[in-house]
């Protein structure tokens, strides 16, 4: 379990669990059905990146991603071998293994920390670290306190006392990869859907959605999925790939689409929809946001 601090406020954000209301945010029986109708999408199972393994549907092409952009980073992210299972942080398989189409080749850690919001935080931080954009690696805790990588590598640590968070320099400078991973675990512990919702800006037009944007329910329970690919036809119609982490901490995975099996794993999304159904979570209201 994640460390709980700042009384109820922090507790509200640390869960990616589904609600008990299967008619709302939970996936009901429809979302739990196994895919019985073959998809019309030809998946290249021997390919090992998002863009290579999941070609755009007929009549569509991948939207152009700027070189060195977050979108390009995700679409080019290495995948594990096709058919790999979702593993929990302790190395065991989760029970539901029929609603994903790919596993991102990135560790989950050995603690129950890298959950739903943390999955996109992880990828965003890794992207910025790779480009050496260290000044941009910064995330707020649910309390509103900001923890930056620059501060952490210079030895600053979060000191929690009841409902208060203070920052003190207690360690020596360390900009190693290992220390960066410790920084991320700290962020995973104290950040979540509420803080990430505040750190991002709304996307109000479906045509503006891009790879790396998130669909989020902020609260308790909260959840996040992120766009892992975008294709577009000549009329400007877009389709989207969706990926997520989940609770307990588990492999970051790309979702199937059990609601439109002919185009699975692609999704037809609308920022103005009253509700958006994904394979393992229903979002109501629909709330798309961008870094």
CA–CA gap between residue 272 and residue 291 (Å, rounded):
19
Instruction: Name the percent of the chain lying above pLDDT 70.
Output: 86
pLDDT over 80 (residue 96): yes
- CA 134 from chain centre, in angstroms, equals 21
Whether the Cβ atoms of residue 223 and residue 116 lie closer than 8 Å to each other: yes
Least confident of 122-131, 155-164, 232-241: 155-164
State the DSSP string of 130-185: HTT-GGG-EEE-TTS-EEEHHHHHTTEEEEEETTEEEEEE-S-----HHHHHHHHH
pLDDT over 50 (residue 30): no
- Confidence (pLDDT) at 248: 98
What's the rounded mean pLDDT across residues 131-142? Answer: 97
- Confidence (pLDDT) at 220: 77
pLDDT over 60 (residue 29): no
Sign of CA dihedral 114, 244, 223, 119: positive
- Confidence (pLDDT) at 160: 79
95 band by pLDDT with thresholds 50, 70 and 90: very high
133-153 burial, b at 16+ Cβ within 10 Å, e below that, comes to eeeebbbbbbbebebbbebbb
pTM score, whole prediction: 0.90
What's the rounded mean pLDDT across residues 117-121? Answer: 98
Tokens of residue 140, six digits:
């707020």
Closest by CA to 87, choosing from 246, 268, 278, 264, is 246
List, for residues 182-223, the tens digit of each pLDDT value.
999 999 999 999 999 999 999 999 999 999 999 999 997 899
Rg, C-alpha atoms of the chain: 19
Least confident of 37-41, 179-183, 284-288: 37-41
CA–CA gap between residue 13 and residue 7 (Å, rounded):
11
38 band by pLDDT with thresholds 50, 70 and 90: low
CA–CA gap between residue 134 and residue 173 (Å, rounded):
14
pLDDT over 80 (residue 115): yes
Tokens of residue 118, six digits:
């943390």
User: What does pLDDT average to over the chain?
Assistant: 90
- Confidence (pLDDT) at 161: 79
- Confidence (pLDDT) at 13: 41
List, for residues 54-94, the tens digit of each pLDDT value.
999 999 999 999 999 999 999 999 999 999 999 999 999 99
């Amino acid at each position: 379990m994640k460390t709980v601090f700042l009384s109820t406020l922090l507790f509200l954000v640390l869960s990616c669990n589904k609600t008990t209301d299967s008619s709302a945010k939970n996936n009901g029986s429809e979302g739990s059905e196994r895919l019985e109708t073959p998809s019309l999408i030809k998946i290249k199972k021997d390919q090992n990146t998002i863009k290579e393994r999941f070609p755009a549907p007929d009549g569509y092409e991948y939207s152009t991603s700027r070189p060195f952009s977050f979108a390009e980073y995700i679409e080019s992210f290495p995948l594990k071998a096709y058919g790999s299972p979702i593993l929990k942080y302790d190395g065991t398989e989760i029970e539901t293994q029929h609603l994903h189409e790919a596993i991102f080749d990135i560790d989950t850690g050995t603690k129950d920390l890298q959950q739903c919001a943390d999955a996109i935080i992880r990828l965003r931080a890794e992207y910025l670290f790779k480009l050496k954009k260290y000044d941009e690696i910064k995330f707020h805790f649910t309390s509103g306190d900001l923890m930056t990588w620059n501060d952490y590598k210079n030895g600053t640590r979060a000191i929690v006392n009841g409902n208060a968070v203070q920052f003190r320099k207690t360690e020596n400078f360390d900009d190693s990869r290992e220390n960066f991973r410790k920084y991320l675990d700290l962020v995973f512990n104290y950040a979540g859907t509420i803080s990430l919702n505040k750190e991002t800006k709304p996307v109000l037009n479906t045509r503006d959605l891009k790879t790396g944007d998130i669909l989020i329910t902020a609260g308790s329970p909260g959840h996040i999925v992120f766009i892992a690919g975008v294709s577009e036809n000549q009329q400007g119609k877009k389709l989207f790939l969706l990926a997520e982490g989940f609770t307990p901490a588990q492999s970051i995975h790309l979702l199937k689409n059990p609601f439109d099996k002919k185009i699975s794993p692609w999704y037809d999304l609308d920022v103005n929809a009253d509700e958006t159904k994904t394979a393992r979570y229903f979002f109501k209201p629909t709330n798309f946001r961008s870094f």
